Amino acid sequence: NISVTEVNAPDLTISGVDLTQSGAVVESGSYVLNRDRLDLSVSSRNLGTDVLDDFSMLVYLSRDRELDAGDTLIRTYVEDQGAEFLSGNSSVNGFSIDLPESLEAGAYYVIAQIDSEDAIAEFSELNNTYASASAAVTIVRLADLVVSDFSAQPGYYLVNDATDTRN
């Protein structure tokens, strides 16, 4: 027996997340905090009927493929296309994200969630979250060096120092 169910409501889904560098899709990347931006694109699709209301898209970094309270929210985006996100339409949103300084060094999965507040009454809420297949983002933390003490010693000179009279 084959059962057919009519889709009688919107059905938003995330179909993919791609890391990009210089506009090209890459499999993985290493990012240094306070220097590099995380560039990615999130592909979404409406598998159901037309969407007439705004909805949000959230992007997280996670140590595993499960969305939970321990994950770090790195981007919130509100989609205000309204009736333009029609049945069967797709959308690709590109983001360039400054990474939060609180991130620990290590490997992370990218998780994207659409309609996180359940603003849209959907045919299925089970397909609203997407997690990358591998831990594609590696966070690198460089040492935060601070000069705590400095003293000049006789006989040593600074290059281009106005007090250097050797010339």
DSSP readout, 113-129?
A: EESTT--S--S-STTSE
Report the C-alpha gap between 58 and 82 in whole angstroms.
Answer: 18
What is d(CA 153, CA 145) in angstroms, rounded to the nearest whole number?
22
Token representation of residue 126: 């089970």
The secondary element (H helix, E strand) that includes residue 149 is none
Please, are residues 59 and 40 in contact by the beta-carbon 8 Å criterion?
yes
Tracing tokens 């790195």 back to the chain, one arrives at 74
156 confidence band (pLDDT: 50, 70, 90) = low
The 10s digit of each residue's pLDDT in 9-60 is 999 999 999 998 777 788 877 788 778 889 999 999 999 999 888 899 999 9
3-class SS of residue 166:
coil
Q: How confident is the model at residue 108 (pLDDT cuts 50, 70, 90)?
A: very high
CA 107 to CA 118: how far, in whole Å? 30
* pLDDT > 70? residue 87: yes
Q: What share of the chain is helix, strand, coil (3-state, %, to 5)?
A: 0, 40, 55
Q: Are 80 and 36 in contact (CB under 8 A)?
A: no
pLDDT digits (tens, 9 = 90+) for 69-82: 999 999 999 887 55
Task: Band the pLDDT of 160: cuts 50, 70, 90.
Answer: low
pLDDT at residue 84 above 80? no
